[in-house]
Chain A
Amino acid sequence: MTLDFSWLADPLYQQWLLRGLGTTILMSLLGIVLMFIIGIAGAACIHFRLPVLETLTTILVELFRNTPPLVQLFFLYFMLSEIGLTLTDSATGRSIPLFSGFTCVVLSLGLYNGAIAVEIIRSGLLAVPSQTVEGARSLGYSRLQTFRHVELPIGLRMSIPAMTNNVVSLIKTSSQAVLVAVADIMYGATQIMLETFRNLEVMILIWIIYVVIASLAVVAARRIAAAVRIPGYGM
């Protein structure tokens, strides 16, 4: 068996891969932002035991955490296109679907990993000592102020290791974008395979690219953890 990577010299393939890589990174970043918004908002709903919202959050978390992300993506993609929300491009006058494959992937990543993030952040909040909270309360902090200034800053720090896993999972899950025709890195790879039949070589490259992206994310998370470390707090 010989490996042939000569196709890598083709500028068209390089372009597909680079554009795809950009799309993958952009989807992941947007997904991470959405994941954090959902994670913090959901954890707050449960933490404050907000009527209705607490139950609703718990149900949604179970729903999104316990079903395959691919099923969720297809469901979102077909449901939203069925609803058929469109917006009109003011320049061309063309009608374009509001929920493109790209939007659906970002939403799906945000919801799936966001549901897991809710539980991760919640466990971080539970790890904040009740004495620390009481100290804040005795100084006149309201429940909301205590959450914002004391519980969340400490709880988020405690959730960094578990959240790193979740971010890596999100980056990997983004590869299913290819199945709703989003031109991400996997999409580029599939195209190249169809044209060159160098399936193994292409997959080796894709494998390496994902390892690199995920490793960079892990390194970034470690940097953040080191930067916000609480001296003398055993973290």
Chain B
Amino acid sequence: MTPDQQVRPLIELQGVHKSFGSFPVLKGVSLSVQDGGVVCIIGPSGSGKSTILRCINGLTPIDRGTIRVGSFAVETLKSDKDLVPLRHQVAMVFQQYNLFPHRTVLQNLTMAPIQVLGEDPTQVRERALSLLAKVRLTGKEAAYPGELSGGQQQRVAIARALAMQPRVILFDEVTAALDPEMVSEVLSVIRDLAREGMTCVLVTHEMRFAEEVADEVFFTDRGVIVEHGPPSTIFKAPGDERLKSFLEKVL
């Protein structure tokens, strides 16, 4: 790796604006994520956290600003065909799992690599089986998502994201719909990924987890990033008043 690549972040957002109708959700968001970095975005509901993630993989088109992921200028990608290579590199895991209910667990993992990326089914299947082992779901290959618990479904969703062999995974409040006892099984999978060097961007309400895994934490409020820094600073010595009052409420 050349020094130039080392300093150049994998993801870079600059002055991103987005309104839904007349309501501005993002009012000039800038952030960057290093390759292999783990970034957590925290903040009150409706502050635009999820919208930031959805903009990064092009699910939500932006009004103004630039988003760069690797060599892609995301705001310039318009057609489905242009977006395929981006979505190959940037996978996403959702709060509601968003699995394919009519396909088995194994098919959920293999569908996109075969149908979208046109990869060899035998290889994809092997990779999918080892990913299921990784998220500790071996034996559930033939089950349907509706037959699994929330925590198991979310682990399938993570494995499905990994099956695309992405460079980045975006996690959108992935434990928010889970029972407390299932939260830990999902978090431990994410923790493993972060340790292995997968670039992760997490929107989360799990403050202790954010403190543990994040290299950098961004605090959003009303469409702007109010404060960012290493978790030790954000959680132990917050500067901004809004961040202080937010942390008082959630910690």
Question: Chain A: residues with CB nearer than 8 A to chain B?
Answer: 131-132, 134-145, 149-150, 153-154, 157, 230-234
Is there an interface contact between B94 and A232, defined as CB atoms closer than 8 Å? no
Is there an interface contact between B102 and A157, defined as CB atoms closer than 8 Å? yes
Is there an interface contact between B96 and A131, defined as CB atoms closer than 8 Å? yes
Those 4 A-B pairs whose CB atoms lie nearest each other, nearest first: A232-B146, A135-B98, A142-B80, A140-B87
**Bound complex: CA of A135 vs CA of B156, how far in Å?**
13
Is there an interface contact between B147 and A154, defined as CB atoms closer than 8 Å? no
Tell me if B91 is interfacial: C-beta within 8 Å of chain A: yes
Tell me if B111 is interfacial: C-beta within 8 Å of chain A: yes
* B112-120, B197-205, B218-226 - the one binding chain A: B112-120
Is there an interface contact between B144 and A140, defined as CB atoms closer than 8 Å? no
Main DSSP-derived SS at the A contact region: helix
Is there an interface contact between A143 and B98, defined as CB atoms closer than 8 Å? no
Tell me if B92 is interfacial: C-beta within 8 Å of chain A: yes
Tell me if B231 is interfacial: C-beta within 8 Å of chain A: no
- The contact of B91 among A139, A150, A154, A233, by CB within 8 Å, is A139
Tell me if B183 is interfacial: C-beta within 8 Å of chain A: no
| Chain B residue contacts of A234, Cβ below 8 A | 146
15 A-B pairs with CB atoms under 8 Å apart are A131-B94, A131-B97, A132-B100, A135-B98, A136-B100, A138-B87, A138-B92, A139-B87, A139-B164, A140-B83, A142-B84, A157-B102, A231-B147, A232-B148, A233-B146
| Chain A residue contacts of B84, Cβ below 8 A | 140, 142
Is there an interface contact between B117 and A230, defined as CB atoms closer than 8 Å? no
- The contact of A141 among B94, B115, B148, B160, by CB within 8 Å, is B115
Q: How far is the CB of B12 from chain A (nearest CB, A)?
A: 20
Is there an interface contact between A134 and B100, defined as CB atoms closer than 8 Å? no
Residue of B nearest to A136 (CB): B100
Is there an interface contact between B145 and A232, defined as CB atoms closer than 8 Å? yes
Encode B50-74 as 1/0 by CB contact (under 8 A) with A: 0000000101000000000000000
**Bound complex: CA of A189 vs CA of B241, how far in Å?**
88
Encode B113-157 as 1/0 by CB contact (under 8 A) with A: 001110000000000000000000000000111111000000001
User: Assuming the A-B contacts A145-B115, A232-B146, A234-B146, are A139 and B101 also in contact, with contact meaning beta carbons closer than 8 angstroms in the complex?
Assistant: no
**Bound complex: CA of A135 vs CA of B109, how far in Å?**
12
| Chain B residue contacts of A144, Cβ below 8 A | 80
Is there an interface contact between A140 and B88, defined as CB atoms closer than 8 Å? yes
| Chain A residue contacts of B78, Cβ below 8 A | none
Is there an interface contact between B116 and A230, defined as CB atoms closer than 8 Å? no
Tell me if B213 is interfacial: C-beta within 8 Å of chain A: no
Is there an interface contact between A139 and B59, defined as CB atoms closer than 8 Å? no
Is there an interface contact between B112 and A141, defined as CB atoms closer than 8 Å? yes
